[in-house]
Structure 1
Amino acid sequence: MELAHDYLELATPAGETIKVLRKSHPQARRLRLTVTPGGARVTYPEGTHPAQVFAFLRKHGEWLERKLDELSLGSAPPPLKPGAATVMPLRGETTRLSWRDGAYPQIEQIDDRLVLTLPRPHGKSTLPAARALLRSFLEAQIRRDVSRWLARYCPELGRAPTAVKLRPLKSLWGSLDTRDRVTLDLALALAPPAALRYVVVHELCHLRIRSHSPRFWALVEKLMPDWREQRDWLRLNGQALKAELNRLIQA
C-alpha cells in the first residue's frame, strides 16, 4: 500500500488495487472507513501518523472489499425487495437497510443501519409502505439540516425563502422560483451533509442575486469557502445518488 496524493492504494489478495480517499478532520475522534457510490474514504483526527492509517486500512481490508461488492459500484444496484437486506448511502456513508416483522409499520435508525418494520404477511402493499417510510425518513433528514442552516444564513443574507419543498429532481439539485420557494432534490439526503449545505447556500444566495454572475459566486464563497469541492463531489457522484433514490422510493 502506498500514498498517492490524497489517496491510499490498498492491494487485494486477488491482485487488484482499491483507491481510498484519505482526509483528516479537526473534529474526528477516531479513524473511520466509509463506502459510498463515489468510492471509499478514510477519515482520521488531525495529527494521526500515516502508519496508523495504513494499519487501520489493512485491518479492515476484507470488510472494504465486501462493502464495495455489496454496493456494486459501477453497476445497477439490486431492486428493493421486502425482507432482503441491502446497503444504501445515507448522509455520505454506507448504511445497511434491514427488515423485521412487527405490528406497525415504522423505520428506525439503529447505530449504522436502518431497520424497516412491517407486518406479516408481505403482500402487494408491503413495498409501497416501505418506500413511503423511506421517503419520510429521508425528508426528515434534510429538513433537520436545512432548518439549522436557514437559521444560520438567512439573517446574514437578509433574505429567507417562503417555503422549502423536497422532491426527486431529474437533473437539478435545487431551484428557486419567482415566489422565493426553494426546491431541493430528495437525493441530497444520501449525500454528505456538506454537499447538501452547498446546494442550500447556492439557492439562498439566489434570493439576493438571481444570476450566476461573478458577484453571485463571490457571495457563495463568502458563506461557504469550500463550495467548489462540494460542487465537484456532486458532479462526480450525482447520477449514482439519483439512481439510488429511484431504487429506494420510486422504482
Structure 2
Amino acid sequence: MPVYRIGEREIEYTLRRSPKARKASLSVTPQSFDLLVPEGATEEQIYSVLERRRGWIIETVQHMQERARAQTRVYQFVTGAKIPYRGRMTKLTIEPFEGSLVEVSFRNGFQIRKPHDLSLDASDSIIESALRLWLKRRVREDARDFVRRQGERHGLKPRGVQIKDQKHMWGSCGQDRQINLNWHLIFAPKPVLEYAVVHEMCHLKHRNHGTEFWDLVGRVLPDWKDRKAWLDKNEHLLGWEKVETSV
C-alpha cells in the first residue's frame, strides 16, 4: 500500500485507477484514504493532487480518528453493559437458563439468556456473536419492510436485499438490481435506516447522485436531508468496539 508522507507522519492510502473517472477524488477512513484517478494519470499528476489536498487530508484524517475514539467500547457482555440500538444506548440483561443455546430478545432492553453451564471465558464471545446475528436479522427484516412499502408505492423494485459487513459505505445498488446494506445501520434510528434503503432504491432509476436522483429521493422522503444529516454526524456511534481487558 503506498504511503503519503507529511513531515514525519506517514498515512497509508489506496490508489485506484478507473477508465470512467474524469478527475481525481479522495475518500478518507480513520486509518487511510482512497485516491481514485483517471486510468492514464501520471505519477506527477497523482503527487500534485495529494499536495493540493494536503491540508484537507490532515484535517479529515484527524477528525475521523477522533470520531473513532468516541465509538462505544464494550469490555464484557454482561448485565449492565450497554450497546447502541436504533439511535439509543440500550442495556443488556444476562440470565442463565437450562437451554443449550444463547437466546436474544428485546423488551425495553436486550434480554439475553445463556446456558447456565457456559464458562465465563466462552460466554462473552458467544453472547457477542448471538447479538450480532440477532441484529443482522432485525435490520434485514426492517429493510425488506421499507422496500415493500416504499418500493411498491414509487415503482422501485430491487431484485433483493442483502445485509453485509461493509467497512466504508452504508449501502450500494448493483447493476443486477441487488441492494446491499451495512448491518451497522441497525444502530441508527429507524428513519435513518429507511433513508439508507430509499437512497439505494432510487439508484435503480438513477445510477449517479445528480439532480434527478435527489429529486426522486425527495419525492419518496421529503425530510431526507435531516435523516442524512443525522447519519453524517453520528456515523461513529453506529457499532461497538470490543476492548480486551488487560491482565
TM-score for the superposition, normalised by structure 2? 0.64
Report the AA paired with residue 223 of structure 2: D
Give unpaired runs (5+ residues) of structure 1.
Answer: 1-73
Identity %: 26
Report the AA paired with residue 76 of structure 2: K
CA distance in 1, matches of 2:149, 2:77: 40
- 1:128 has 2:125 as partner: yes
Counting only pairs closer than 5 Å after superposition, residues 57-136 of structure 1 correspond to structure 2 as 75=70, 77-104=72-99, 105-110=102-107, 112-119=108-115, 120-136=117-133
Query: Is the radius of gyration larger for structure 1 or structure 2?
Result: 2
Q: Given that residues 167 and 183 in structure 1 are in contact (C-alpha distance below 8 angstroms), is that contact kept between their aligned partners in structure 2?
A: yes
The 10-residue stretch of structure 1 (210-219 or 157-166) with the greater mean CA deviation from structure 2: 157-166
CA distance in 1, matches of 2:157, 2:163: 17
Cα pair distance change 1:138/1:106, threshold 3 Å:
same
Match of 1:28 in 2: none
Counting only pairs closer than 5 Å after superposition, residues 104-183 of structure 1 correspond to structure 2 as 104=99, 105-110=102-107, 112-119=108-115, 120-183=117-180
Deviations for 1:193-236, whole angstroms, at most 9, x for unmatched residues?
01000000000000111111100000000000111111110111
CA distance in 2, matches of 1:82, 1:143: 23
Q: Given that residues 77 and 92 in structure 2 are in contact (C-alpha distance below 8 angstroms), is that contact kept between their aligned partners in structure 1?
A: no
Report the AA paired with residue 91 of structure 1: R
Cα pair distance change 1:102/1:124, threshold 3 Å:
same
Deviations for 1:227-248, whole angstroms, at most 9, x for unmatched residues?
1111110111002214x2x549
Give unpaired runs (5+ residues) of structure 2.
Answer: 1-68
Q: Given that residues 86 and 188 in structure 2 are in contact (C-alpha distance below 8 angstroms), is that contact kept between their aligned partners in structure 1?
A: yes
Q: Which has the higher contact order (CA 8 A, sep 6+)?
A: 2
Cα pair distance change 1:75/1:213, threshold 3 Å:
closer
Q: Given that residues 83 and 100 in structure 1 are in contact (C-alpha distance below 8 angstroms), is that contact kept between their aligned partners in structure 2?
A: no
The list of structure 1 runs, each at least 4 consecutive aligned residues, that deviate by more than 6 angstroms after superposition, is: none
The 10-residue stretch of structure 1 (223-232 or 75-84) with the greater mean CA deviation from structure 2: 75-84
Deviations for 1:145-199, whole angstroms, at most 9, x for unmatched residues?
2222111222233332222111222221111112111111111111100100000
TM-score for the superposition, normalised by structure 1? 0.63
Report the AA paired with residue 218 of structure 1: D
CA distance in 2, matches of 1:138, 1:208: 30
DSSP-derived class of the 2:197 partner: helix
DSSP-derived class of the 2:166 partner: coil
The 10-residue stretch of structure 1 (176-185 or 157-166) with the greater mean CA deviation from structure 2: 157-166
Report the AA paired with residue 125 of structure 2: P
